[in-house]
A = this chain, B = another copy of it.
């Protein structure tokens, strides 16, 4: 990961504010959760809430305080073992599937751990001579923590969903004000395009280096596929007709008995949300589908999924400014924590007139691109080099962020990635088409 401080806005002198704000947001997200809620691991992919709270603190302790804060004493000798997620470079770690077996350290212990780390970080953050390399690592740590804010929400949603009592994370809110919009296809750019982050401001290493690739003639859907459309796919035998499915997808849905999106009710009229079970909104984007389902839907619809280069090209065009960051959209910041119907989040949803809407926010959009390194990719030296590079196999890229992503965390070059059978993330479908 190449972490570079931003030239405008979140510059070095704003780093303390950014750090403290993000750390506070994380703990705020747990306000409504009991200590018991924070212990559960409902499947191997999920981590307990308190594990997220501890792991994000460990990240600062391991990569910033321990090497760069002279005399720093680790809070607890075993936390490095317990809260290392996957960095082989810093030693042995607790098994990923065993994170839900830990009643200790308690939520209170981890709260103290967070305070301990935050306390020691203040001195570093306010040091007049903070080396740029360290500032870059701290900035990386804040983006890392934002990723875990989203993971925390995804994970607690799953935890609550497997509980027969179906608890709610927050109170239901009024249905969004979105309207039904037709889906049209909008022509994208053809020819050589430039993808990836330009190095101006922060990005993760997997967005680098900027590079050229070639776009075929194509068009992209004006909005994501909505629940009503997906329901039609189901009703027309979508899950029973092998001709729509990739072979591995067909095996997956048969072995696991899938016949609808992850959180839909058996009657196909409600879905489990962070506000509990709610009626299905036909106009809201379909969410919590796997790559296999997105791909099968697209084939049924006579379309395909976009490549990530197509998506990025269109996303850059849709933004009103050159920054690559969306200014509007349904993100974590809105507190709705559920996809909204097109238009609900504002007139143009950060889209230029006559360009696709909702490219940012609401739902992550599966692309047809396997998660691979960009040409010339070089992970940074040391354990931090494990951040992204070693996962570049067997996963597919998703773009655009979702309703549980912090708004200032996302950008046009941002690459998310999941295995094609994963669907507890807030993933939806954007269609594309070849054009003559």
User: Which residues of A are in contact with B by a Cβ distance under 8 Å?
Assistant: 34-40, 42, 78, 81-82, 86, 88-89, 94, 98, 100-107, 159, 162-165, 167, 192, 211-214, 216, 218, 242-243, 245-250, 291-292, 295, 368-370, 372-373, 375-376, 390-394, 420, 434
Contacts and interface: CB of A to CB of B under 8 A. Distances in A.
A329 to B, nearest CB: 29
A293 to B, nearest CB: 13
| Assembly stoichiometry (copies) | 4
In this complex, the member of A98, A103, A212, A213 whose beta carbon has the largest number of chain B beta carbons within 10 angstroms is A103
Given A88-B243, A247-B391, A434-B376, A82 B213 contact: no
Contacts of A373: 368
A249 B393 CA distance: 9
A255 to B, nearest CB: 13
B101 A159 contact: yes
A144 B89 CA distance: 47
A107 to B, nearest CB: 7
A78 B165 contact: yes
A237 B40 CA distance: 38
A103 B163 contact: yes
Given A102-B163, A163-B101, A372-B368, A39 B42 contact: no
Contacts of A370: 370, 372
A103 B159 contact: yes
Nearest to A244: B390
Given A216-B376, A393-B420, 20 more contacts: A36-B38, A36-B104, A36-B106, A37-B103, A40-B100, A81-B164, A88-B243, A88-B250, A102-B163, A104-B163, A104-B165, A218-B375, A246-B391, A248-B393, A250-B390, A291-B393, A295-B393, A368-B372, A370-B370, A376-B434
A106 B35 CA distance: 10
A128 B42 CA distance: 49
Given A35-B34, A81-B164, A390-B247, A101 B40 contact: yes
Contacts of A372: 368-370
A249 to B, nearest CB: 7
Contact of A103 (B34, B214, B292): B34
Contacts of A291: 393
26 contacts: A34-B106, A36-B104, A40-B101, A40-B102, A81-B164, A82-B164, A88-B243, A88-B250, A98-B162, A101-B163, A103-B159, A103-B163, A103-B167, A105-B165, A192-B214, A213-B213, A213-B214, A246-B390, A246-B391, A246-B393, A247-B393, A291-B393, A368-B373, A370-B370, A376-B434, A394-B420
A216 B295 CA distance: 29
Contacts of A81: 164
A245 B40 contact: no
A331 to B, nearest CB: 27
Given A247-B86, A368-B372, A390-B247, A103 B39 contact: yes
A106 B34 CA distance: 9
A295 B37 CA distance: 41
Contacts of A159: 101, 103
